[in-house]
Structure 1
Amino acid sequence: MRNRMKEKLLELIFPPRCAICGEVLALRERKEFFCEKCGGHIPFIPKETCPHCGGKTDTAGFCDFCRKPFAFETACAAFPYETVRQAVHLFKYEGGKQLGEGLGALMAEYLLQYHEELLVKTDLILSVPLHPKKEKRRGFNQTHILCEKIAEKTGLMFQKEGLCRKKNTVAQSTLHTPEERRQNLKDAFAATKDFTDKRILLVDDIFTTGTTCNECAKVLYRSGAREVHVFCLSAAGLQLEQKSI
């Protein structure tokens, strides 16, 4: 009884919201993760569109040109950042922790529709880590929540530990040049487990310049990983955001 009252109170303070547009769900919609409008057409990035540059590609993921500078094998994202911007902000900064389950379920659906090959060849999922101080302030690691739902829906194994953030860096979004971003993340991550011969799916919420995922991938390769593939909820590619999808 007490737990039910607590749930009702939390629902009043943080009403259920659509995992795509972030709008408060109507009562009839609250058994779902999204509103009727978004649920009628989930705006995934089209299969032959590069999430980074918006150009044409033969795969559901980064084109060869965009992937070339990075250490990881492949990268993909489910949505353009602007499509889920409000939901991501609510999820991370305004107490909308419950939105994470909906976002994670959508990521799993994207994998099931477009990336069956990743499901077959992935040994485990890892999340891009937060620094312990930042995680304590926020109250949770948003990528852990995404990974838990992806694992539940796809059957992949989520390993919560194994990659840590040693440095409490400033937000990458506050830096203006590639060199500033690289220096900010230099020696910021460490592997705490042996990943010899493992094929890893590295999960994050937003792919902007790729510096964070790239630094994590390099650490994982040094720890013995056979392959590292990147999967993000959203990609902030400017050319992609300017297109009608």
Structure 2
Amino acid sequence: MKKLLDLFFPPRCAVCGEVLTLEERNGFLCHECAEEIPYFPKEKCPHCGGETNNTGFCDFCVKHYAFESACAAFPYETVRDAIHLFKYDGDKTIGYGLGELMAEYLLKYHEELLVKTDIMVSVPLHPKKEKFRGFNQTHILCERISEKTGLVFGKKVLERKRETIAQSELNPEERKLNLKDAFGVTADVAGKRVLLVDDIFTTGTTCNECATALYRAGAQEVMVFALSAAGTE
């Protein structure tokens, strides 16, 4: 049965999205990506492209947001095809691979986040959208990160209280209005240090609104970890 499925829906690399050869199908990466996983260069800020010495967003970029810090595992262009296959074609196998790579990135570059995080939460979809898609992609990423690192995943800590327009269709100012007060907190986060996970960081509006809701609910600190970042260079 698996061989038949592989014939019509061949396994693809979790980074570049290319079809895996028979020799590569024991894992989730093609040979080229496995040779050197193309994580975001640790000396560059994923948001502005400027120099940074903490493998995350530079101090200049972070000060514009409510959350305390942010980092991203990959440049968006590097994993764009894989994300599309995962989110819109429903290839959860790629999602599991991406989540595992995110976990390895934390273990390699951000052990301090693993130590200080009390609970990991994901950016929520509206229930209607999640039902239509069949899954929340950030939940899958978080589940795999939790399996590999031991971080506690609070699956239903955040909720999207109302339907919103896709952020990709809006300009920066419209994005802020679109998401204003769109998120709520449904669990006790008082005094906790929260790691907020998303798949794509573009302008940061979504993560900022989620962080604001978490702080209003009493969170001590909110840190952001994204699968990818679309820089503003």
| Both structures adopt the same fold (TM-score exceeding 0.5) | yes
Question: Normalization by structure 2: what TM-score?
Answer: 0.97
Residue 242 of structure 1 is matched in structure 2 by none
Quote the Cα distance in structure 1 between the aligned partners of 2:232 and 2:10.
Answer: 31
Quote the Cα distance in structure 2 between the aligned partners of 1:32 and 1:98.
Answer: 10
The number of residue pairs the alignment matches comes to 233
Residue 59 of structure 2 is matched in structure 1 by 64
Task: Give CA-to-partner distance per residue, 1:145-189, whole Å, 9 cap, x none.
Answer: 00011011111111111110011111111102x220111001111
1:83, CA displacement in angstroms? Answer: 0.3
Please point out which of 224, 227, 230 is paired with 1:236.
230
1:69-218 counterparts in 2 under 5 A? Answer: 69-176=64-171, 178-218=172-212
Please state whether the residue corresponding to 1:98 is helix, strand or coil: helix
Please point out which of 11, 23, 28 is paired with 2:6.
11
Quote the Cα distance in structure 1 between the aligned partners of 2:46 and 2:114.
Answer: 20
Task: Give CA-to-partner distance per residue, 1:55-86, whole Å, 9 cap, x none.
Answer: 10120100011111100000000000000000
C-alpha distance 114-137 of structure 1, shift in aligned 2 (>3 A): same
Percent identical among aligned pairs is: 71
1:12, CA displacement in angstroms? Answer: 3.7
1:223 aligns with 2:217: yes
Answer whether contact 1:47 1:61 (CA < 8 A) is retained: yes
1:9, CA displacement in angstroms? Answer: 4.8
Question: Structure 1: which 4+ aligned runs deviate by more than 3 Å?
Answer: 7-13
Over aligned residue pairs, what C-alpha RMSD do you find?
Answer: 1.1
Answer whether contact 1:189 1:216 (CA < 8 A) is retained: yes
Quote the Cα distance in structure 1 between the aligned partners of 2:150 and 2:188.
Answer: 22
Answer whether contact 1:21 1:83 (CA < 8 A) is retained: yes
Answer whether contact 1:14 1:95 (CA < 8 A) is retained: no
Answer whether contact 1:14 1:96 (CA < 8 A) is retained: no
Letter in 2 for 1:158: F
Question: Normalization by structure 1: what TM-score?
Answer: 0.92
C-alpha distance 28-68 of structure 1, shift in aligned 2 (>3 A): same
1:10, CA displacement in angstroms? Answer: 4.1
Quote the Cα distance in structure 2 between the aligned partners of 1:15 and 1:110.
Answer: 26
Please point out which of 28, 33, 36 is paired with 1:41.
36
Quote the Cα distance in structure 2 between the aligned partners of 1:119 and 1:55.
Answer: 25
